[in-house]
Amino acid sequence: MSDTHLFSPWVPLPGVFGSHETGEPFERCIECDCFLLEPGTEYIVEKAFRCYRDFSISDTVFEYAMCMECAEEMTNSLSRESLGRLENYFSQNVNLRERLSWATQDRPSDPGQWLSSCAIKGTSVEDLSEYQIVGHCTGDQLVLSIFPYLIGGEALDEVGVLLSNKTLDILDDFGGRHFGLPPEFSDLPRTRFMPVL
Ligand SMILES: [Zn+2]
């Protein structure tokens, strides 16, 4: 194994970024159905979890993979106002330098560090009752950069407040088209898809 390989910013896709149903990597883009597992095909995986600590179980609330072309198209359809606020929020709250430094450490093979706490609030994943993870993938590999990241419920609430009604409508429409809305969402003000910047 060469030094170059040791410092590779890609690792084999961990199971947590695979499909909850099959445990295997997602094969298709949720929007355009293109095949994702060709080497070099870039895409995003987003998964949302609810945790019930009293029962030591967690539920996958939704999950999908989306090719980069569709992710960019969706981002471009969101309001500029929302995107500007989101960019500010992330740049002010996420320690990008620290995350990039993890990718150049000499044991970057374990993506656990990226997913051990909320990227915004620092809350440990064990203390979260709700969170989402977002990964940047290429074929059957996970890219380690500022991705992947985990966002807890408190930060998701703050993100929701930053989004315009137009953006929330687009995200609601996406959720409705692909998932139907699970009953858990009915008591929430709006759905909680994270726009990927
Ligand atoms: Zn697509």
pLDDT category at 105 given cuts 50, 70, 90 is confident
Q: Does residue 159 lie within any of the structural domains?
A: yes
Ligand 1 centre and the CA of 91: distance in Å? 27
Q: How far apart are the first and last CA of the chain?
A: 34
Ligand 1 centre distance from Cα of residue 94 (Å): 28
Mean pLDDT of 90-118: 84
Q: What is the mean pLDDT of residues 181-195?
A: 55
Tell me what pLDDT residue 179 has.
82
pLDDT in tens, 71-89: 999 999 998 999 999 999 9
- 63 is a domain residue: yes
pLDDT band at 26 (very low <50, low <70, confident <90, very high): very high
For the chain, what is the domain count? Answer: 1
Residue with tokens 């997602």: 26
The residue with tokens 């040791």 is: 6
Residue 193 lies in a domain: no
Alpha-helical regions (H) of 10-164: 68-77, 80-93, 96-103, 153-162
Ligand 1 centroid to Cα of residue 45, in Å, is 12
Dist. CA 147 → ligand 1 center (Å): 19
In a domain, 194, yes or no: no
pLDDT score, position 118: 96
Read off the pLDDT band of 173 (50, 70, 90).
confident
Asked if the structure places residue 13 within a domain, the reply is yes
In the reported structure, the alpha carbon of residue 65 is separated from the centroid of ligand 1 by a whole-number distance in angstroms of 9
Nearest residue to 76 via CA among 195, 186, 162: 195
Q: How far apart are CA 77 and CA 158, in angstroms?
A: 21
Question: Which range marks the domain in which residue 18 is found?
Answer: 3-187
CA of 6 to the centre of ligand 1 (A): 31
Give pLDDT, residue 181: 62
- 76 C-alpha to ligand 1 centroid (Å): 14
One-letter amino acid of 59 = D
Tell me how far the alpha carbon of residue 35 lies from the centroid of ligand 1, in angstroms. 9
Q: What is the mean pLDDT of the chain?
A: 85
- Report if residue 161 sits inside a domain: yes
3 pLDDT band, cuts 50/70/90, is very low
pLDDT tens for 142-168 read: 998 889 999 999 999 999 899 998 988
- Residue 38 makes CB contacts below 8 A (sequence gap 6+) with 139
Q: How far is the CA of 17 from the centre of ligand 1 (A)?
A: 17
195 CA from centroid of ligand 1 (Å): 15
pLDDT in tens, 109-132: 678 889 999 999 999 999 999 999
